[in-house]
Amino acid sequence: MNFKSALKPLAMPLALVAICAFFALREPVFLSPRNLTQLFIEFSVVATLALGVFMIILTGNIDLSVGSGVGLIGGVAAVLVFKQDWPAPLAMGAALVVSMLLWTLMGTLIVKQKIPSFIITLGGLLIFKGLFWLVIENSTIPVSRGDEDNLYSLLTTYYLPSFAGLALAAAIAAGSAWLLYSARRARRSHKLPVEASAKAIGKWAATAAAVFAVVIVCNQFRGVPLSLLILAATATTVYFLTRHTPFGRYLYAIGGNEEAAVLSGINVHRVLIGAFVLMGVAVAITGFMMTAYSGASTTTVGDLMELDAIAACVIGGTALKGGRGTVWGVLFGALIMTALLNGMTLIAVPPELKFIARGSVLALAVWVDVRFGRT
C-alpha cells in the first residue's frame, strides 16, 4: 500500500515521459523547438477547455456540448470580424456574451427542470453544431487578412520577445516563492501543520525550473506564444476559484454529496448555474484560440474536443462522479493528450487509428477512475 501511494503521484509524469520518449525515438523532430512550441499552443487550447469542463465535472455533471460550442462561438466572432467588419475586440466581446447566455440557459434548464446534464448538453451538441454551420453558411471564413494588428489572428501567432519571456519566468518564480512563504507563515500563525520545508522548496524549484525550461525552448523558435499566457491566466483564475473561495468549496461539496450540500445551506442551484456560466467563458476563449490556430472558421473546428477535454480531466485524476480533482492534474492530463495527438500527427498516423487511440485513452482513463478512484 505504501509503495502504491508513493507511485501514484509519479504516474502522470512517467506516462508523459514515456509518450515523449516513444515519439522522439520514432521522429527526432518531436523534440525540436519549433514542434514543442506548436505543441504548447495546442496544449493551451485543449487545457483551457478542460479547465472549464473540470469545474462542471467537480459537481458530478458533464458537458458534451463544448466541442460544438467552440466551433460556434469562434465562428460567430469570425463572421463579425471578417464579414461584418467589426473591430476584433468588440466582436470577441459579443461572442463571449452569447456563449455565457447559452451556457446560462443550459445550466438553468438542468437545475430548475431537474433534467440530467447528459441529455441537455447532448442536445446542445447537436443544436450548436447546426447553428455553427448556419452562421458560417457551410463555408470557410479565413481568420487573417494580412493585417498584423488583427487581435483575433494574433491569439495563436503572436510570440513574446526573448527578454520578455525570461523576465516573465523570473517574475513567476519570484511570485510563487512569495506566495509559498506567505501561505506557510499564515498556517503557522494559526498553528496549522505545514509541509516540510525541504519538500516545499523542492516543489517550488521544480516548478520554477519547468517554467524556465519552457521559456528557453520557446525562445529557440520565436518566443513564448500568447496562447500559453492565456492558459496561464485561465489556470490561475480557476485554481484561485476552486481552492481559495467559498464557490470552489461548494463545487467540491456538491460533487461529493449534493444532498449534504443542500442541508448545509449551500445554494446548489446558484452554484451549478455559476459553473455553467464559467464553462461558457472557457468555451469562448477556446473557440477564439482554436479558430485562430486553424487559420479559418470551418465546419470541422471543435470536432471531438469535448472528448479530449473530458479525457484530460479524468487522466488528471478528476472523478467523474464529482468531488475530487485538481487544476494541476487537469493540466497534466491535457499535456498528455496533446503530446499524444501531436506525436501521432508528426509520424503520420492514419486518421482512423487516431480515432481509435483517442477512444482507447478515454476508455482507459475512465476504467482507471472507476477501478482506483475509490482508494
In tens, the pLDDT along 289-310 reads 999 999 999 999 999 899 999 9
Cell of 220: 529557440
pLDDT score of 320: 87
Among candidate residues 50, 264, 37, 308, the one with its CA nearest the CA of residue 156:
37
CA distance 326 to 238: 10
Task: Tell me how far CA of residue 336 lies from CA of 10, 14, 17, 347, 367, in angstroms.
Answer: 13, 10, 9, 17, 17
CA distance 62 to 364: 18
What would the pLDDT profile of 74-107 be if each residue is shown by its tens digit?
999 999 998 998 999 999 999 999 999 999 999 9
| Torsion of the alpha carbons at 9, 14, 20 and 23, rounded to the nearest 10 | -140
pLDDT score of 294: 92
CA distance 212 to 205: 11
DSSP type of residue 57: H
CA distance 362 to 307: 7
What would the pLDDT profile of 308-363 be if each residue is shown by its tens digit?
999 999 988 898 888 899 999 999 999 999 999 999 999 988 988 888 988 888 88
DSSP type of residue 191: T
pLDDT score of 190: 82
DSSP type of residue 142: E
Question: How many C-beta atoms lie closer than 10 Å to residue 187's C-beta?
Answer: 13
SS3 225: strand
Low-confidence ranges of the chain (pLDDT < 50): 1, 374-375
Cell of 302: 471543435
Question: How many C-beta atoms lie closer than 10 Å to residue 312's C-beta?
Answer: 31
Helical packing angle, 246-256 and 268-294, nearest 10°: 100
pLDDT score of 340: 92
pTM (two decimals): 0.93
SS3 percent helix, strand, coil of the chain, rounded to 5, is 75, 0, 20
Cell of 29: 523532430
CA distance 356 to 360: 6
Domain residue ranges of the chain, discontinuous segments joined by +? 28-158+227-302, 160-224
pLDDT score of 342: 93
pLDDT score of 1: 47
